[in-house]
Amino acid sequence: MQPDIKTFIIYEDPHIIVCHKPAGMPVQSARIGTADMVSLLKNHLASSARNTGASKPPYLAVIHRLDQPVEGLLVFAKSPAAARDLNRQLTSSGFSKYYRATVVGVPDPAEGTLEDYMVKDGRTNTSRICTKETHGAKLARLHYRTEKICEDSKPVTSLVKIKLDTGRHHQIRVQMAHLGCPLAGDRKYGRIFADSPDTGSLIHKNNSTALKLCAYRLEFRHPANGKEMTFKIR
């Protein structure tokens, strides 16, 4: 049974749709029978168009993405003009994405900006830190701040808030792992520390949980009227 997309929509007007994507659902999938945000939204728009007597197929553009295990806020464009403006904001200024993450360990320093070069491997669907000279390398930058240290957990974890300045593939997961604090539940990038006698077994134990990452806040200017839009989930 397909989920009801209306339970995920938190704002809609003639130009945009803002949704709360649940963890585990892909933004877009080529798998037949797999529920994804794009398919559900297109069905929603098609149903609305039929109710109003519209004849044209609905338009929907993906502006940014979240990894399948990640929950959080997404904005989609309902017209080419809205898509152009939101994409312009995404690549220049005015579009801000904030995340909450639980990481293994305690970041040192407690607050900082991470700047690295990253390269994606399409064959393995992974990314890694590399040098600036590496073929295909792209700058990745984020700012993090430690909000809380959970010393009672085993292993010790920290709640971190993150603002992305760039949107690279698996960026938060790769950069926080490179810092020495992989995301809790990250089976893919937590394992780069598996050979460490101090942290390896603990990270594997922690990987039994879901990936602890949520895109909790989204800011941009409305593509039609320029109004500042802010959306936030708990």
As a whole number of angstroms, the distance between CA 13 and CA 224 comes to 11
As a whole number of angstroms, the distance between CA 136 and CA 130 comes to 10
Q: Is 4 a catalytic residue?
A: no
Residue 82 forms beta bridges with which residues?
A: none
Catalytic residue among 67, 85, 116, 186: 67
The bridge status of strand 9-12 relative to strand 16-21 is antiparallel
Residue 229 forms beta bridges with which residues?
A: 220
Phi, psi of 52 (to 5 degrees): -100, 0
As a whole number of angstroms, the distance between CA 169 and CA 121 comes to 10
| Residue 114, helix vs strand vs coil | strand
As a whole number of angstroms, the distance between CA 156 and CA 135 comes to 37
Amino acid at 110: A
Give catalytic residue positions: 67
